[in-house]
Amino acid sequence: MSAQARGDAPAGRARMLRAVAQTVRCELLRLLREPMYVLPTLLFPALFYAMFGLLLGGNRGSAEVARYLLATYGVFGAMGAGLFGCSVTLAIDRERGFFALQRALPAPGGAWLVARAAIALLFSLVIVLGLAALATAFGGVSLAPAQWAQLWAVTVLGALPFCAIGLLLGSVASANAAPAWANLLFLPMAFLSGLWLPLSMLPDALAQLAPLWPAYHHGQLALAVLGADVGGGAGGHIAVLTATTLVCAGLALRRLARVG
């Protein structure tokens, strides 16, 4: 390899990283100007946690409620950030022709995908940090630094399967239908996965179906960080979430390559 070729490779990588960073920046600015996405995504998990995890849980005198819902509402927030952040924006872009224009720009082909995933992870991090502040200040929750770091990592990275599901929804739904389809999936999945109430409080018929939902497996991993017994081991839950990410993202990209 010539010296010029060796010099061009790092410069090419640097240009690619700058292009991806600019795409992330533009997509983030775009979402920040959409209060219908930003406010519910960031505030609803904190409001629900304050109401059910702190106020009602405190009335029952149980710090375990605050701990349990700290994990599950973090998963709830990450799920919403990934699902809505990818599905609705992609559907709008496709319908208005922005997606086709974006693919024609001189940027890496996967920059838009990296941008959407990065923003979902960023929003998820903001959500879990807000929940941690509430749990520490008002819920009496105390974790070791390593536990906090592990809980945040598990919760934030767990948004990726829901980004993939959102991409699949956004690749097939219209701009008007995408929010309805996302809500139709989001709310029942959260309830049936034990994110709002422990599965022991649900009818047996519903509780037995919980493993069908990706959110259940994400919630089990988050609860395991806090010392809960994870049935079947963490490996099985990770495998389900990984498979969900790969299958849904693959189907979405295949459809987008065919029909845009």
Helix (H) or strand (E) holding 62: none
What are the tokens at 71?
């994990």
- In this predicted structure, which of 5-14, 161-170, 188-197 has the lowest mean pLDDT? 5-14
**pLDDT (tens digit, 9 = 90+) per residue, 135-178?**
998 888 889 999 999 999 999 999 999 999 999 999 999 989 99
Question: Is residue 259 scored above 80 in pLDDT?
Answer: no
Over residues 187-204, mean pLDDT: 90
Over residues 237-246, mean pLDDT: 96
Residues 6 or more apart in contact with residue 51 via CB below 8 angstroms: none
Pair 77, 128: CB distance under 8 Å: yes
Number of domains in the chain: 1
pLDDT confidence of residue 144: 92
pLDDT confidence of residue 250: 94
Pair 103, 109: CB distance under 8 Å: yes
CA pair distance 162, 129, nearest whole angstrom: 19
Q: Which residue has the tokens 């819920």?
A: 139
pLDDT confidence of residue 109: 65
Q: Which domain holds residue 121?
A: 3-259
Q: What is the DSSP string of 118-161?
A: HHHHHHHHHHHHHHHHHHHHHS-----HHHHHHHHHHHHHTTHH
Whole-model pTM: value is 0.88
CA pair distance 30, 24, nearest whole angstrom: 10
Of the pLDDT bands very low, low, confident and very high (cuts 50, 70, 90), residue 124 is: very high
**pLDDT (tens digit, 9 = 90+) per residue, 32-65?**
787 777 888 889 999 999 888 787 755 554 677 8
Over residues 237-243, mean pLDDT: 95
CA pair distance 31, 121, nearest whole angstrom: 14
pLDDT confidence of residue 61: 45
pLDDT confidence of residue 260: 62
What is the 8-class DSSP label of residue 195? S
